[in-house]
Structure 1
Amino acid sequence: MKAERLAAARSGLAPAALIRATPLLFPLVFVCTAVTGVLSTLYAALALHLLIIASELTVGRRWSEVAIPKLVEGSSTFEDLWPVLWFGLHLVALVAALSFVGSADLTWRQVFAVGAFFGYSINAFSAAAAHELIHRESHAERAFGRLLCAIMLYPHFPCVHLSAHHHWAGTDHDCQTPKPGQTIHAYLAQALFGGLRAAATPQARALDRGLPLRALFCVLVVAAPLMFAPVLSAFMIVQGLFAFLVIETINYVQHCPFPDDDHSAAAAASTHQDLNFVSRALLLNLPLHAAHHDRPALHYANLTPSAEAATLRLGYWCSFWLVWLPPVWHSLRHNLCSHHRRSP
């Protein structure tokens, strides 16, 4: 799929704007839950996720060759500001969720459910925003991205991502690249322990001198409420667990090799892309991951598909659930993927 085949459809601006506004509804759901004090309000978040999946399977696949239009024609101001604005929306949603968990009489199972909803809903968009911010040139924007990762209790993601993943992607040296035939369950263990080892290397420490402070921040965020409101600590741990699951499952989808892939190949040849319009619109073009590895500093709004990368159109919400059924996942992506055999 060559980059020029992504055509800008001005008639698609209104639907695209509507899809891109969808993330705004998730903080609103948590604010409404805090205001009403009704746990079942969170079912609205579940309904939104089902709507996203349905959109991926329909309009997302149909518009896979359509570029994401800028919200304001001729200006990238919105695209520039959106990741930083989302940082503020994440804080609003987090305060609302903590307020609800702290004031409602919830069982531990219900606390887990609220944390899971938050982690799967808010943190999915926060992961995309943080990823974009840590690649920006501005020190302030990079700081926002690193702080957002710390709030999600994944403080070492930026240094592992920048010092190891972008250097070793597609090889056995990268803990965030699945090995051939590796299931999602084994990969998550590799990402967890490998990430901690990678963050402790001299290269990572030199690249990210603020990591010890962010790690301390995470410990305090979890430990501080233990004395007066342990449910808040439980919520923070659960949302952090789901942040890790979301981020690393996305990494798995982006880098899971096909049987005929050369696992020692360069990053661009070992990184896949998903052209699903809905996923690209919601996740700041993160599914154009092969192009991102080609030019990591390129603004997300300027990413275009790679002509050489293996290409899917499933969408990341669909893929997130399919990877937990390895036979179904591998069969589907093998049958639906284009360009999965590399040229010598």
Structure 2
Amino acid sequence: HELGHKADRLNIFFGLLANNAVGYAHFRIEHNRGHHTWVATPEDPASARFGESIYAFASRELPGAFRRGWRNEAERLTKRGERVWSIRNEILQGFAFTLLVAAALIALFGWKVAPFIVAHHFLGWYALTQANYVEHYGLLREKLPNGRYQPVEPRHSW
């Protein structure tokens, strides 16, 4: 998570490696381009609502974050005149890495390792979901008369 905020390529690479290792290729895109824009608003699937259980949040956040990440990546590629379903798609690159690692582990250890791969991915997803849940639980930015939300401030994170 934190490595995805860095500006240098090495830290970004290690952040991508960590996310892709658990099949969470969309996270950096969604987090930096979506969540940072919409944090603490009803439009943000990665901000827990007051009274929302972690389970209800996870069932909303996991698919919502993937959809928004894919949409953000599609917009980026379209603006550059590139196809969404291409090697330039960072989400597809990440999932290719995830599949290659899983295939290598299955080739080395057999199919008996598959449940461990699934559990590993689930735990990675759930850890990031728990962090998002705690960081912004119940916090909301005020909607201004012009229709925009007030700027993000430190008080919009716990």
TM-score of the pair, normalised by structure 2:
0.76
- 1:267 paired with 2:152, answer yes
1:192 corresponds to which residue? 62
CA distance in 1, matches of 2:13, 2:104: 23
What one-letter code is carried by the residue in structure 2 that aligns with 1:170? A
Residues 36-55 of structure 1 mapped to structure 2, 5 A cutoff: none
Query: By how many angstroms is 1:231 displaced?
Result: 2.4
Match of 1:204 among 52, 73, 94: 73
1:315 corresponds to which residue? none
What one-letter code is carried by the residue in structure 1 that aligns with 2:122? L
Given that 1:160 and 1:195 are in contact with CA atoms closer than 8 Å, whether structure 2 keeps it comes out as: yes
- 1:173 paired with 2:57, answer no
- 1:135 paired with 2:5, answer yes
Match of 2:26 among 156, 167, 172: 156
Given that 2:106 and 2:114 are in contact with CA atoms closer than 8 Å, whether structure 1 keeps it comes out as: yes
Gaps in structure 1 of 5+ consecutive residues: 1-130, 273-344
Match of 1:250 among 131, 135, 152: 131
Given that 1:163 and 1:204 are in contact with CA atoms closer than 8 Å, whether structure 2 keeps it comes out as: no
**SS of the counterpart of 2:42?**
coil
What one-letter code is carried by the residue in structure 2 that aligns with 1:243? G
Residues 1-344 of structure 1 mapped to structure 2, 5 A cutoff: 131-201=1-71, 203-205=72-74, 206=76, 209-226=89-106, 229-257=110-138, 264=143, 266-268=151-153, 269-272=155-158
**SS of the counterpart of 2:96?**
helix
RMSD: 2.3
1:296 corresponds to which residue? none
What one-letter code is carried by the residue in structure 2 that aligns with 1:139? R
Query: By how many angstroms is 1:223 displaced?
Result: 4.4
Percent identity reads: 24
Query: By how many angstroms is 1:270 displaced?
Result: 2.4
2:81 corresponds to which residue? none
**SS of the counterpart of 1:172?**
coil
Query: By how many angstroms is 1:163 displaced?
Result: 0.9
What one-letter code is carried by the residue in structure 1 that aligns with 2:41? T
Distance of aligned partners of 1:262 and 1:137 in 2 relative to their CA distance in 1, 3 Å threshold:
closer
Given that 1:152 and 1:240 are in contact with CA atoms closer than 8 Å, whether structure 2 keeps it comes out as: yes
Q: Which has the higher contact order (CA 8 A, sep 6+)?
A: 2
Given that 2:26 and 2:70 are in contact with CA atoms closer than 8 Å, whether structure 1 keeps it comes out as: no
Distance of aligned partners of 1:263 and 1:235 in 2 relative to their CA distance in 1, 3 Å threshold:
farther
CA distance in 2, matches of 1:180, 1:132: 25
Distance of aligned partners of 1:224 and 1:235 in 2 relative to their CA distance in 1, 3 Å threshold:
same
Residue correspondences, number: 139
What one-letter code is carried by the residue in structure 1 that aligns with 2:156? S
Query: By how many angstroms is 1:155 displaced?
Result: 1.4
Given that 1:170 and 1:266 are in contact with CA atoms closer than 8 Å, whether structure 2 keeps it comes out as: no
Given that 1:175 and 1:190 are in contact with CA atoms closer than 8 Å, whether structure 2 keeps it comes out as: yes
Per-residue CA deviation, residues 196-229 of structure 1 (Å, 9 max, x unaligned), is 111211x334288422111122123334555661
Distance of aligned partners of 1:139 and 1:209 in 2 relative to their CA distance in 1, 3 Å threshold:
farther
Which of the two has higher C-alpha Rg? 1
CA distance in 2, matches of 1:211, 1:169: 21
CA distance in 2, matches of 1:159, 1:211: 8
Distance of aligned partners of 1:197 and 1:257 in 2 relative to their CA distance in 1, 3 Å threshold:
same
